[in-house]
């Protein structure tokens, strides 16, 4: 009987999630896209001389900056796949930053900090679940309230804990122990030599591979593994099927014997755990201490990455890397590197315009996109660098542009944010 119910639920969920399309994205297309992107980056680096576009330092920094965004996005994915909008991810990240630093200092072990950060985020998720699932509070209002509450709680806790410690203060902690790093043995020096030669494509590949294999934090590896694990649990297990059914057709799920409240609670608490780990990453890996305002809106950018990825782990990871990469570039020779991105954007927009005209026969859209490409190219030609006042907002501008371009093909869970009360199936 249970197998029959799972099969019926799977058929219903897959029917709702299926989006008609003439094109099926495969691993072959992914590899071709990555190859084309590396080739384009190599071309732009050669033309502009902006060596940080493909340097090992930039790639390593991009991964480090993408991890908290990706973990926040994964948290949002779990929550929204169960039908609960989680705007409170920023607040759960904030709780994780404080919990990670406090736990690492208190127990003298960075992994204890990761656990405490995860528990702090879980408390935020539990509060959000209680407000939205049990008491029916509007999801947006609850999420905003949790973010405001988390800010106040961490400010208070910092004053009563870190301010009393040597090297700490009202708004920051003492230095924290950091998780270990690993490198692939025997490749660092050889790749560094190739990267320094500035050969077309070869040096770029060497820089990218070196950034991916040298001095990588153990917590980064754990975070990366959570992406395929999330996909497996949500799309390859009966538990994940029932959870997604709660976000697509909760009434149908209840009629098949699924405890919708329980699955929503579990999803939102897991969402908080993931965001809490992302916050701990910020204070333990991306920085050397907890600092007030450390999240910098990454919880909201994580939501943008989730939307960009169409509520799927693979697309979410790609969006997180995009935002992390732009953030890394503005930190490394920001004006020069961001200026070089203008040429990259111009070429990509020109390619999109050609695709819209030839493949989709959308003349007006192609003209608009082509005009945007020309404007960006002119801006690149007439300037030598981007002022520092603008480079700092590059990740946020990227977020807006990506969401505006991706909005036409999005398919959120059908019951995402829709109020649900037990017994509606009757």
Residue 359's pLDDT is what?
Answer: 80
What is the Cα–Cα distance from 319 to 311, expressed in whole angstroms?
11
pLDDT of residue 50: 87
**pLDDT confidence of residue 372:** 87
| pLDDT at residue 106, rounded to an integer | 94
User: Which stretches in the chain have pLDDT values below 50?
Assistant: 1-2, 9, 11, 19-22
8 A C-beta contact, residue 131 and residue 419: no
pTM of the model: 0.90
User: Nearest Cα to 49, choosing from 404, 304, 337, 312?
Assistant: 337
Structure confidence by residue, pLDDT tens digits, 162-199: 988 888 888 999 999 999 999 988 888 888 999 998 89
| CB contact at 8 A, 211 and 59 | yes
């Amino acid at each position: 009987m249970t197998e029959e119910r799972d099969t019926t639920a799977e058929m219903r969920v897959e029917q709702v999630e299926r989006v008609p399309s003439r094109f099926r994205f495969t691993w072959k297309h992914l590899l071709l896209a990555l190859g084309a992107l590396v080739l384009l980056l190599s071309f732009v680096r050669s033309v502009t001389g902006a060596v940080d576009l493909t340097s090992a330092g930039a790639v390593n920094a991009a991964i480090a900056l993408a991890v908290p965004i990706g973990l926040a996005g994964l948290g949002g994915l779990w929550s929204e796949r169960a039908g609960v909008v989680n705007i409170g991810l920023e607040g759960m990240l904030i709780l994780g930053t404080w919990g990670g630093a406090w736990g690492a200092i208190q127990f003298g072990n960075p992994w204890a900090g990761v656990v405490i950060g995860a528990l702090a985020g879980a408390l935020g998720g539990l509060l959000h679940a209680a407000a939205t699932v049990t008491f029916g509070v509007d999801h947006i209002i609850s999420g905003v309230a949790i973010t405001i509450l988390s800010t106040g709680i961490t400010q208070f806790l910092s004053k009563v804990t870190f301010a009393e410690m040597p090297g700490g203060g009202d708004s920051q902690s003492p230095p924290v122990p950091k998780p270990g790093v690993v490198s692939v043995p025997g490749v660092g020096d050889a790749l560094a030599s190739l990267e320094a030669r500035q050969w077309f494509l070869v040096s770029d590949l060497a820089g990218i591979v070196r950034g991916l294999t040298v001095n990588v934090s153990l917590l980064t590896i754990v975070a990366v593994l959570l992406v395929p694990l999330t996909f497996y649990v949500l799309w390859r297990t009966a538990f994940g099927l029932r959870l997604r059914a709660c976000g697509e057709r909760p009434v149908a799920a209840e009629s098949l014997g699924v405890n919708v409240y329980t699955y929503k609670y579990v999803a939102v608490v897991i969402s908080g755990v993931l965001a809490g780990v992302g916050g701990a990453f910020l204070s333990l890996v991306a920085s050397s201490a907890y600092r007030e305002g450390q999240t910098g809106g990454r919880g909201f950018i994580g939501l943008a990455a989730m939307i960009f990825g169409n509520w799927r782990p693979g697309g979410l990871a790609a969006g997180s890397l995009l935002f992390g990469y732009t953030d890394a570039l503005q930190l490394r020779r920001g004006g020069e590197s961001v200026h070089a991105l203008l040429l990259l954007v111009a070429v990509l927009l020109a390619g999109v315009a050609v695709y819209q005209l030839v493949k989709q026969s959308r003349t007006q859209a192609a003209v608009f996109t082509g005009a945007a490409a020309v404007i960006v190219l002119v801006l690149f030609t007439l300037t030598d660098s981007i002022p520092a006042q603008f480079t700092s907002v590059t990740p946020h501008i990227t977020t807006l542009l990506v969401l505006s371009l991706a909005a036409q093909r999005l398919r959120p869970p059908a019951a995402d944010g829709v109020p649900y009360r037990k017994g509606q199936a009757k």
